[in-house]
C-alpha cells in the first residue's frame, strides 16, 4: 500500500485568499493542530518582510513539539530571499527550502520579460548559492504555472534541479486550468522520465477540478499533494485537504491502495477549528463542512434516510462528529414531521 504524503499550505497559500489573512497569533494556534494531525510537511510562510520573518522565530521559540514534521518556506530565487529564508529555517529540526521556480514560457516572456536561458541561469545561480551556504535541510522546488509549460522546459528544469540533488519536485497548476487527463499525462510522463524524483502537485480550483486533479495525480504515481484546510486560497481556492482525504478514506478503490496516516474525524475537527479562529463559515454547500452538506428537504431522500441513512448518505455524518438535518418545504415528505428528527 503506497503512502501518500500531504503538504499543507494553509498558513502560506491559504491566506492569499481574500479575507483569509492570519495573524501570527492565529497561526500559532493552528500549527500544533496540524502537527498533531500528522501532516508530513507544513509550509508556514514566505520570508518576505519583518512580520513574516518574525513568525518563524515565534514558532521556533514556542513550546510546540514539531515531532517529525517538516517545516517549509516558499522562497524566491533571489540571494537576499534565500539568505533570510535559510536563517529563518535554521531554528527548526526538519526543514524544506521550497524554491519558487518558473514553469512556463508564458511566465518567462510575460512575467519576467526574459529568456529560457536567463531563467535557467537564475535557477543555477540560486542552487549554487544554497550549495555554498550552511543550509543542511532538504530542498524542494515548485514549478509555477507548469500546467501551461512545455514538457521540454519542465524537463530542462528538473534535470538542472536533479543535478543539484533536488529530488522533490512539485507541478503547480497556478491558474487552475488543468484537467484530470492532463495531470495524469503530466505525472506519468515525468514519473517515467525521472523515476528517482519525488513528484507532487499543487492544484488550484478555478475550474472546480483541484481535488479531481490531485486524485488523478495520485493515480498516475504522484507521491504527495499540496492542500489547504477547507480548500481556502487565492481566487477559487486550492485543493481541499478534507475532500481528498475523504476520497482516500471512503472510496474502496483508494483506501485499499493508498494510506495517508490522517484520521478523518480529527481532520474535520481541525477544519471546524480553523473556521472558528478566522471567524468565518464555509459556504453552506461546501462538501463535508457546509451547513447543508448533510441536509435535505427532498421527501424521497428524507424517507429513505429515516429508514436507512446509507440510502442517501455516502458518508455517515455521525462518524465525523457532524449532524444531518432535515429542512421542510413543499418538497418534503408528508410522512415525516420535525418531531421525528
Q: What is the pLDDT of residue 333?
A: 63
Query: Quick one: average pLDDT of 94-115?
Result: 98
Query: Quick one: average pLDDT of 136-148?
Result: 98
Instruction: Summarize pLDDT for 233-247 with one digit per residue, the tens.
Output: 999 999 999 999 999
**Whether domain 2-278 has CATH 3.20.20.70:** yes
| Distant-in-sequence contacts of 268-273, Cβ < 8 A, 24+ apart | 268/242, 268/320, 268/321, 268/322, 269/321, 270/33, 270/34, 270/37, 270/229, 271/229, 271/230, 271/241, 271/242, 273/30, 273/33
Q: In 10 A of CB 100, how many CB atoms?
A: 18
248 confidence band (pLDDT: 50, 70, 90): very high
**What's the CA gap between 101 and 120, in Å, rounded?**
9
Percent of the chain whose predicted confidence (pLDDT) is above 90: 87
Domain boundaries, the chain: 2-278, 294-340
The cell numbers describing 97, all together, are 527550502
Amino acid at each position: 500500500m503506497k503512502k501518500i504524503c500531504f503538504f499543507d499550505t494553509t498558513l502560506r497559500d491559504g491566506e492569499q485568499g481574500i479575507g483569509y489573512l492570519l495573524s501570527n497569533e492565529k497561526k500559532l494556534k493552528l500549527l500544533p493542530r496540524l502537527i498533531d494531525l500528522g501532516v508530513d510537511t507544513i509550509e508556514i510562510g514566505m520570508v518576505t518582510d519583518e512580520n513574516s520573518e518574525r513568525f518563524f522565530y515565534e514558532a521556533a521559540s514556542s513550546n510546540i513539539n514539531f515531532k517529525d514534521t517538516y517545516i517549509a518556506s516558499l522562497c524566491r530565487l533571489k540571494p537576499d530571499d534565500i539568505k533570510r529564508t535559510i536563517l529563518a529555517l535554521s531554528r527548526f529540526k526538519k526543514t524544506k527550502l521550497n524554491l519558487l521556480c518558473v514553469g512556463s514560457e508564458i511566465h518567462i516572456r510575460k512575467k519576467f520579460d526574459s529568456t529560457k536561458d536567463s531563467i535557467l541561469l537564475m535557477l543555477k545561480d540560486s542552487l549554487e548559492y544554497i550549495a555554498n551556504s550552511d543550509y543542511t535541510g532538504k530542498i524542494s522546488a515548485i514549478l509555477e504555472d507548469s500546467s501551461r509549460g512545455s514538457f521540454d522546459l519542465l524537463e530542462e528544469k528538473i534535470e538542472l534541479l536533479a543535478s543539484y540533488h533536488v529530488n522533490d519536485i512539485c507541478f503547480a497548476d497556478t491558474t487552475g486550468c488543468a484537467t484530470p487527463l492532463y495531470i495524469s499525462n503530466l505525472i506519468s510522463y515525468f514519473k517515467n522520465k525521472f523515476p528517482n524524483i519525488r513528484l507532487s502537485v499543487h492544484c488550484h480550483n478555478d475550474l472546480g477540478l483541484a481535488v479531481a486533479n490531485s486524485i488523478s495525480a495520485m493515480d498516475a504515481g504522484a507521491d504527495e499533494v499540496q492542500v489547504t484546510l477547507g480548500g481556502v486560497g487565492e481566487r477559487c481556492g486550492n485543493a481541499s485537504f478534507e475532500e481528498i482525504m475523504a476520497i482516500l478514506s471512503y472510496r474502496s478503490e483508494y483506501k485499499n491502495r493508498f494510506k495517508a496516516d490522517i484520521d478523518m474525524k480529527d481532520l474535520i475537527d481541525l477544519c471546524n477549528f480553523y473556521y472558528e479562529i478566522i471567524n468565518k463559515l464555509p459556504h453552506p454547500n461546501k462538501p463535508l463542512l457546509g451547513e447543508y452538506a448533510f441536509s435535505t428537504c427532498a421527501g424521497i431522500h428524507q424517507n429513505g434516510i429515516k429508514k436507512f441513512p446509507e440510502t442517501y448518505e455516502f458518508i455517515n455524518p455521525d462518524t465525523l462528529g457532524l449532524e444531518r438535518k432535515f429542512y421542510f418545504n413543499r418538497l418534503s415528505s408528508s410522512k415525516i414531521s420535525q418531531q421525528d428528527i
